[in-house]
Amino acid sequence: MRKFWPTSIFLGIVIGGTAFTAGWTQSAKGKGGTPFDPKLPIFGTRLEVLPEGPGKEIADRACLSCHSTDILRQQRLSEAQWTASVNKMVGWGAEVPEEEKAKLVKYLALHFGPSNDHFQPVATRPIGR
């Protein structure tokens, strides 16, 4: 009998956790969740394009395959910081050939450097709603 004690505890935790989660989800649905304007765009909607200029095509291809334009547009990084960021992203799998890195960094630093004060965040719907 003593042998089944850990299994019983484990099953109790799993069943109890499942019941708690189901109850919590239902209570959130019953209350309607957080109110929001259904006219808001869904998360991930591309609302802005990157500014034109030399290097835009590289940024479109290399950066926007994983990030929204808002991620870039909200930055205020120096050229040295953009160089470090691009190198980090290349290390994580961004496809930026060595001969295109300098052009990309110049583009990013020009449009999203320390003097960038144009970004206005866009409110979106809650995920899944």
DSSP assignment of 111-127, as one string? HSSTT---------PPT
Average pLDDT over residues 73-92: 97
On whether both 57 and 107 belong to a single domain, the answer is yes
On whether both 59 and 103 belong to a single domain, the answer is yes
Structure tokens given for 49: 């394009």
In which domain, by residue range, is 85 found?
37-129
Provide the whole-model pTM. 0.63
On whether both 27 and 43 belong to a single domain, the answer is no
On whether both 48 and 7 belong to a single domain, the answer is no
| Residue 42 to residue 117: CA distance in whole angstroms | 25
| Count of structural domains, the chain | 2
What pLDDT is stored for residue 119 in this prediction?
83
Q: C-alpha distances in angstroms, 21 versus 6, 13, 16, 18?
A: 22, 12, 9, 5
What pLDDT is stored for residue 27 in this prediction?
42
Nearest Cα residue to 80 out of 55, 105, 103: 105
Nearest Cα residue to 129 out of 31, 9, 43: 43
Residue 31 has pLDDT above 80, yes or no: no
Residue 51: exposure state from Cβ atoms within 10 A (0-12, 13-18, ≥19): middle
On whether both 43 and 27 belong to a single domain, the answer is no
**108 HSE (CA, 13 A, CB side):** 29
Average pLDDT over residues 27-55: 73
